[in-house]
A and B are shown apart, each in its own frame.
Chain A
Amino acid sequence: MTTARVEAEVRGDTACITISGEIDLANANLVQDQIHAAITNDVTIVMLDLSGLDYLDSAGLRVLFTLADRLRVLQMGLELLVAPQSAVRKAVELSGLEPLARLRPGPARD
């Protein structure tokens, strides 16, 4: 079974969710449930840190698109942290997710 680790914490008005490992068809639904469970109703920004993710394909992108769509309705912002020149960044850029989320190259600085 493909494994991904989802760790979440709420910092002020931001839900910070760090995902490492791999996401494919085998675990996409599980990861989606974990992400949704980590987002409380009172945050205004959701930051997904994917810099530790080794593999993401269209099954994982579907999770991100679904999330972006939901967050737009809820009027929450979505930020994606992806390492520059990584396979994950490429998949995200090729998929056309960019208009729906702010892409950032590294961890947020407080």
Chain B
Amino acid sequence: MANSASAEEKLRRIGFVSDNALAHLAGDALLIELLERVRQVMNADTSVILLLEPGSRELVATASRGIENEVRQGVRVPLGKGFAGRIAAERRPVTLDRIDHTTVLNQLLWEKGIAALAGVPLIVGGAVIGVLHVGNLSARRFTDDDVALLQLAGDRMALTVQAHRAQAARAAATELQRSLLPTRLPTVPTLDLAARYVPGGESSVAGDWYDVFTLPSGWLGIVIGDVVGHDLPAAVVMGRLRSALRAYALETTDPAEVLTRLDRKAQHFEPGMMATVLYCTVAPAFDQMYLSSAGHLAPLVALPGRRGDYADLPIDPPIGAVRETRRRVTTVGLPPGAVACFFTDGLVERRYSPLDKGLDTLRDTVAVKPADAVCAEVMARLIGDDVPEDDVALLTLRRQSQDESGALDLVLPAVPESLKDIRAAMRRWLSAAGAGAEVTGDLLLAVGEACTNAVEHAYGPAGGSVALRLELQGTTVIATVRDHGRWRPPRGENRGRGILLMRKCGDEVRVEQTGDGTKVVIRRDLSREPAL
């Protein structure tokens, strides 16, 4: 086509095809520069680009020259309506030489006094992504050559827009994904946590995520999940699931209930999405895990002196798969020293190798070691030098054994609200120390009374702090409770009762008034028979 050849030549002359000056422009600045050149080469007064909003059926004015307020006012044109809407719906160029409310929907165009319009669809890979149009303030008849030139310019701009969008979406997805993964795992006394996340090949991100959080009730929540799909849409859904799950986690510690609510929320607000999620809650003493799986692989659990194996877990349907499904909870013991590995399928799945092989390798690799060493060895054995095709997320939790967790030291405000936190921390520490139910009950009560005394009697209205130290000497637990105030003389009969309970529950109880507050030392042998 001779016309098309001369059109190419015209575009080349205005630097539309390749121009180093354009290389450093990005986004809207680049579009505006290109529109300015379109206006010149077309001898037009205005040039506008409207883009189809992803997921909607409306064109939105994105950049313009000569009629800038069109963009500033956020003009929107429904597909099939008006001048631009028709071009997009019919996927063909349209020219107009009569501009009024019968031909053009956007009143800015006729208010501006535009007398003639020519527009072309922007098509990439067979899909309409927008419309480019030019206008003249004086009467004009656009020729076939004009339209062919405009279409050629439109094709170039469509590619530019598409490339820019893909790049922006990838950058946004990566950034979103990164912002949604914990930058730092929470520091939880007596637990050792480590994690790895590697995006899939070709730097595309999928919707894998993991999350670890403590709850006000003293429980711990652990989440690992995988949203079906990739790039920005998957990352967005992942973000929504993550925050919805956190919200439900505040309501109940039953993992099946949390997943049931998450499923209901996802089915209503994100129809068509699907995700596998494993949610695990850990009781305040950290000795039991409660697991519920929505289509997700079971974690690997390794106990000291034993070969690791996958938790025996019924797998319920994924989130978003079926309505009103029954979800089940499995309890798994977590004795001191135990390691639990949560992972997404990208870790064990290889295209040309059966899933069982990856699972076997993982089972052979995980040993009772510090969490970070477990993660490092698993990644070395299962990923090695490969670029994984899919995202890989791995989270390892290890319960410390008593000899490494050492003494427990707590300093809390001397207020009634602290008593509960003191008990939660003590339960964890005593469980790791191997204390039975009786001894644990006795020490909780004795230390609780000592701390209650500090809260009730040590300080005036200005308040202060209470410090607790628990340490193990041989088989004896030594609990030291300190405050920096001065206990008032007993008030009411409650005070006497507290001291009595304290004395009955410890083997030896010493209350010392020091120059700087009161110190209570309670000793209790772990092997001694209970007080009654």
Q: A25 contacts which chain B residues (CB < 8 A)?
A: 416, 419, 452, 455-456
Proximity bits, B475-493, A CB within 8 Å = 1, else 0:
0000000000000000001
The answer to whether A1 and B452 have CB atoms under 8 Å apart is no
User: How far is A2 from B452 in the complex, measured between Cα atoms in Å?
Assistant: 13
Stretch at the interface among A32-40, A42-50, A86-94: A86-94
Proximity bits, A1-34, B CB within 8 Å = 1, else 0:
1100000000000000000001011110000000
The answer to whether B423 and A55 have CB atoms under 8 Å apart is yes
**A59 contact from B444, B452, B500, Cβ within 8 A:** B452
The answer to whether B444 and A58 have CB atoms under 8 Å apart is no
Count of A interface residues, CB-CB < 8 Å: 22
The answer to whether B500 and A94 have CB atoms under 8 Å apart is yes
Q: A94 contacts which chain B residues (CB < 8 A)?
A: 500-501, 504-505, 531-532
Q: B505 contacts which chain A residues (CB < 8 A)?
A: 94
B449-465 contacts to A, CB under 8 A, are 449, 452, 455-456
Counting CB contacts under 8 A, is B441 at the interface?
yes
Known: A59-B494, A90-B530, A93-B532. A24 touches B448 (CB 8 A): yes
Known: A87-B441, A90-B532, A93-B532. A26 touches B419 (CB 8 A): yes
User: How far is A105 from B456 in the complex, measured between Cα atoms in Å?
Assistant: 33
Proximity bits, A46-89, B CB within 8 Å = 1, else 0:
00000000010111011001000000000000000000011100
Counting CB contacts under 8 A, is B417 at the interface?
yes
Known: A59-B494, A62-B497, A94-B531. A24 touches B441 (CB 8 A): no
Q: Which residue of B lies closest to A88 (CB)?
A: B441
Interface of B is mostly: helix
The answer to whether A24 and B452 have CB atoms under 8 Å apart is yes
> Distance in Å from the Cβ of A78 to the closest Cβ of chain B?
18
The answer to whether A24 and B500 have CB atoms under 8 Å apart is no
Known: A62-B494, A94-B500. A55 touches B416 (CB 8 A): no
**B417 contact from A1, A58, A65, A93, Cβ within 8 A:** A1
Proximity bits, B253-273, A CB within 8 Å = 1, else 0:
000000000000000000000
Count of B interface residues, CB-CB < 8 Å: 28
Known: A25-B452, A90-B441, A91-B445. A58 touches B501 (CB 8 A): yes
Q: A93 contacts which chain B residues (CB < 8 A)?
A: 532
Known: A57-B445, A90-B530, A93-B532. A26 touches B416 (CB 8 A): yes
Known: A93-B532, A94-B531. A87 touches B445 (CB 8 A): yes
Counting CB contacts under 8 A, is B420 at the interface?
yes
The answer to whether B500 and A87 have CB atoms under 8 Å apart is no
Q: Which residue of A lies closest to B423 (CB)?
A: A55
Proximity bits, B502-532, A CB within 8 Å = 1, else 0:
0011000000000000000000000000111
Counting CB contacts under 8 A, is B498 at the interface?
yes
User: How far is A1 from B417 in the complex, measured between Cα atoms in Å?
Assistant: 5
The answer to whether B441 and A58 have CB atoms under 8 Å apart is no
> Distance in Å from the Cβ of A105 to the closest Cβ of chain B?
14
The answer to whether A61 and B423 have CB atoms under 8 Å apart is no
User: How far is A27 from B452 in the complex, measured between Cα atoms in Å?
Assistant: 13
> Distance in Å from the Cβ of B287 to the closest Cβ of chain A?
15
Q: A1 contacts which chain B residues (CB < 8 A)?
A: 417, 420
> Distance in Å from the Cβ of A90 to the closest Cβ of chain B?
6
Q: A22 contacts which chain B residues (CB < 8 A)?
A: 420, 423
The answer to whether A61 and B497 have CB atoms under 8 Å apart is yes
Proximity bits, B405-445, A CB within 8 Å = 1, else 0:
00000000000110110010000000000000110111011
Q: B441 contacts which chain A residues (CB < 8 A)?
A: 86-87, 90
User: How far is A55 from B420 in the complex, measured between Cα atoms in Å?
Assistant: 10
The answer to whether A57 and B501 have CB atoms under 8 Å apart is yes
Q: Which residue of A lies closest to B532 (CB)?
A: A90
**B498 contact from A27, A55, A57, A85, Cβ within 8 A:** A57
Chain B contact residues, CB within 8 Å of chain A: 416-417, 419-420, 423, 437-438, 440-442, 444-445, 448-449, 452, 455-456, 493-494, 497-498, 500-501, 504-505, 530-532
Apart from the given pairs A55-B423, A94-B532, 11 other A-B contacts in the complex at a CB distance below 8 Å: A24-B423, A24-B452, A55-B445, A58-B498, A61-B494, A62-B493, A90-B441, A90-B445, A90-B530, A94-B500, A94-B505
24 residue pairs from A and B, CB less than 8 Å apart:
A24-B423, A25-B455, A25-B456, A26-B416, A26-B417, A27-B416, A55-B445, A57-B445, A57-B449, A58-B452, A58-B494, A58-B501, A59-B452, A61-B497, A62-B497, A87-B438, A87-B442, A90-B531, A91-B445, A91-B501, A94-B501, A94-B504, A94-B531, A95-B500
Chain A contact residues, CB within 8 Å of chain B: 1-2, 22, 24-27, 55, 57-59, 61-62, 65, 85-87, 90-91, 93-95
